[in-house]
Amino acid sequence: MSDAEREHVGELLQRAVGQGMLSLGEFTERMDTVLAAKTRGDLNQVLVDLPGIQIRPEFQEQNLPGMSQSRYPAPSATGYPASSAAGYPAPSAAAYPATGQGAPLVIKGRVSGIERKGRWHVPPAIVLDTVASSVTLDFTEAVMQTQVVRIDVSDYLSSISIVLPAEATADVNGVENVASSVTSKVRGGAPYGPLHVVVTGKVRGGSFNVTHPLSTRLRKFFNGS
């Protein structure tokens, strides 16, 4: 096993997220398998159920005892989904459209409880317009349109929680806080996983928190990271 092989499979999984074939939670589980993989067969098992995914010939397991090569899709030159397979187009730059394309999702709340979780569809941009509300946006199983999501917030006196999967990154430096708290407990900087959240706007007298799910935080705690 080489790092190049793991990176190749990780790229295929990222593209599957971009095409809506995997949720971010599923991506995280499969990446755990990729990082722990000992053989190419271990890597291939995270790809074989994805429609149209085809594996580069040099990355296929050869002559594994008791394993039929028919389990795996026919290889292509690129290692990316074939255009005719299961109706999925071959990935290109359009798989990750430029942030800002399309209409943003506008979420308004006035003294309300607002929650988005599960397999909800996330556009490239979200607008949060809230007053004295409790807001939770959980991205761990969300279906993404783009790798980068922008959240523009205009809030008074609300408690806002953004929950991101383990591989996600976030940038909250563009948030202006007035008599409020803005915190991020996830990795910042440039995006390196399937999701990078950029937050801008103003929070007045409330709280804005970006974090991982409790299970992820506990796992990191026990692993000493």
DSSP code per residue over 78-110? SSS--TTGGGPPPP-GGGSPPTT-SPPEEEEEE
Confidence class of residue 196 from pLDDT cuts 50, 70 and 90? very high
Total domains in the fold of the chain: 2
Within this chain, do residues 34 and 108 fall inside the same structural domain, yes or no? no
Containing structural domain, residue 106? 96-223
Entry pTM: 0.56
Q: Which one, of 210, 207, 186, 187, lies nearest residue 199 by Cα?
A: 210
H helical segments located in the chain: 3-18, 24-36, 40-44, 214-223
Within this chain, do residues 143 and 207 fall inside the same structural domain, yes or no? yes
Residues 21, 24, 29, 30: is their CA dihedral positive or negative? positive
Within this chain, do residues 90 and 117 fall inside the same structural domain, yes or no? no
Within this chain, do residues 131 and 203 fall inside the same structural domain, yes or no? yes
> pLDDT (tens digit, 9 = 90+) per residue, 61-109?
443 333 333 333 333 333 333 333 333 333 333 333 333 446 899 999 9
* Last residue in a domain, options 71, 94, 117: 94
In this structure, the chain runs to a length of 225
* Last residue in a domain, options 94, 126, 151: 94
Confidence class of residue 183 from pLDDT cuts 50, 70 and 90? very high
* Last residue in a domain, options 44, 59, 94: 94
